């Protein structure tokens, strides 16, 4: 007999240069560090009975490897692939191969920036995209993903 809902587990992935948050172009990306964001996400997840794992890499290959390694043990992804958003078919394919839903997030509003940031290799395969709410984009992404996992697609 199913007695309890399974505890949700999500992974939050971060691409190149996001390790520099807090001192990287603060006028665009704000003052929160990735550690600050991680703490907020963990707290938010804990409050919703979910677990979160966090990962950042400056390497596309490493991100692909991590998606392969973590895919079986998590229920969904929140990903800020940073500049790789605009170029990486490999990350898109790895996420699709995981069979898990993902939400694409961006700190800045990429559609209000340079044209080369308007194209996303991931968005067409994502459950949805959240862009432009600063560090809060991550929390909105986590909320959207947990809702999706609990209730299914809208």
Angstrom distance (rounded) from CA 8 to CA 24: 32
Closest residue to ligand DQA, Cβ-based?
82
Q: How far is the CB of 83 from ligand DQA (least distance, A)?
A: 4
Residue with tokens 């209000």: 112
Strand partners of residue 12: 54, 78
- 106 labelled catalytic: yes
Instruction: Give the x/- contact pattern for ligand DQA in 85-104, rule: CB under 6 A.
Output: x-------------------
- 29 labelled catalytic: yes
Structure tokens at 101: 């839903």
Q: What is residue 64's DSSP assignment? A: H
Q: What is residue 103's DSSP assignment? A: E
Instruction: Give the x/- contact pattern for ligand DQA in 58-87, rule: CB under 6 A.
Output: ----------------------x-xx-x--
Q: What is residue 6's DSSP assignment? A: P
Q: Residue count at the site for ligand DQA (CB under 6 A)?
A: 10
- Residues serving a catalytic function are 29, 106
């Amino acid at each position: 007999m199913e007695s309890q809902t399974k505890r949700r587990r999500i992974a939050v992935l971060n691409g190149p240069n996001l390790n520099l948050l807090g001192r990287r172009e603060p006028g665009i990306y704000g003052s929160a560090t990735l550690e600050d964001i991680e703490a907020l996400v963990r707290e938010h997840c804990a409050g919703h009975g979910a677990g979160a794992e966090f990962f950042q890499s400056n390497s596309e290959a490493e991100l692909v490897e991590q998606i392969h390694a973590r895919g079986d043990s998590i229920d969904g992804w929140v990903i800020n692939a940073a500049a790789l958003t605009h170029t990486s078919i490999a990350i898109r394919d790895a996420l699709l191969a995981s069979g898990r839903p993902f939400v694409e997030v961006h700190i800045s509003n990429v559609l209000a920036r340079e044209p080369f940031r308007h194209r996303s290799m991931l968005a067409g395969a994502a459950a949805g995209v959240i862009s432009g709410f600063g560090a809060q984009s991550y929390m909105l992404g986590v909320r959207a993903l947990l809702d999706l996992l609990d209730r299914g697609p809208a």
